[in-house]
Amino acid sequence: MPTNIPSISSFEDERLRLPRTALSSPSHGIAYWLKRDIVRGVFDPAERLKLDLLTRFYGAGLSPVREAVLFLAAGGLVAHEHQKGHRVAPVSLDDYLDTLHVYDRIRRLALVTAIERGDDAWEEQVLIQLHRSKKVPHVLPGDDHEGRERWQRAYMDFYDTLIGGCKSPLLIDYYSDLVARAERYINLFADQSSDHVRDHAAEHSAIVDAVIGRDPVRLNQLLDESNERSKSMRNSTIDALKALEARAD
């Protein structure tokens, strides 16, 4: 059964309940809710995704729920078991380290490609999203679930626009899947207290300056610095996963 964390589908702010892109079908809408709920920890790792439960939970029909689960199975947040249906993807230290490794490289490749391919219209949208993200208060995990999701949405919209300059659907899809997997580990296991003192607006502004300034050397330097600032959260996640696996032995 889902945890006591409220589902994104129950949020009062309609802007948070809908996908960032236009809904093309009920299945895509439910897939968006389920994806965000898995990432946010509404469903536990390895929890069985029973279709009848999900239809009641989201107030949706069986067919779109089934399709939504299949959508997410392709992105790594849902695992299929032969003749047993689907589960939320399990977690492990090895998977976390692998996710970080590939995520870092895909993000760098996408941003460097955006430097090469981004046009004037893209630059304008990047600056708009940067401005919008600065207006959203940074909320750490806690009781304000909608405030936290509002911050996450602003962060995602900014990076999605920035990454979009690469003009590669494959890179964009890989990035989207990896960032969701990485975010889930942060939400479930990281000590995020160190994130409170980070100046995300300044970090994002510097990255935008490097990308729009077509300076890949400066960009990679900034990404290295960002990774160093995230070290405390990474280490706390690693420690939590080691403890989880030790208890399972």
User: What string of pLDDT tens digits covers the 249 residues of the chain?
Assistant: 667 899 999 999 888 887 655 456 788 889 999 999 999 999 999 999 999 999 999 999 999 999 999 999 988 999 998 878 999 999 999 999 999 999 999 999 999 999 999 999 999 999 999 999 999 999 988 889 999 999 999 999 999 999 999 999 999 999 999 999 999 999 999 999 888 889 999 999 999 999 999 999 999 999 999 999 999 999 999 999 999 999 987
Identify the pLDDT of residue 95. Answer: 98
pLDDT of residue 14: 82
In this predicted model, what pLDDT tens digit does every residue of 205-223 receive, in sequence order?
999 999 999 999 999 999 9
pLDDT of residue 3: 73
What tens digit of pLDDT does each residue of 29-61 get?
A: 899 999 999 999 999 999 999 999 999 999 999
- Alpha-helical (H) ranges within 41-192 are 51-58, 62-73, 93-117, 120-134, 145-164, 169-189
Closest CA to 206 of 193, 192, 225: 225
Comparing CA positions, the residue from 186, 132, 135 lying closest to residue 160 is 132
Both tokens assigned to 162: 């920035």
Give residue 116's pLDDT.
Answer: 97
pTM: 0.94
Kind and range of the H or E element at 217? helix 216-229
Residue with tokens 């955006």: 114
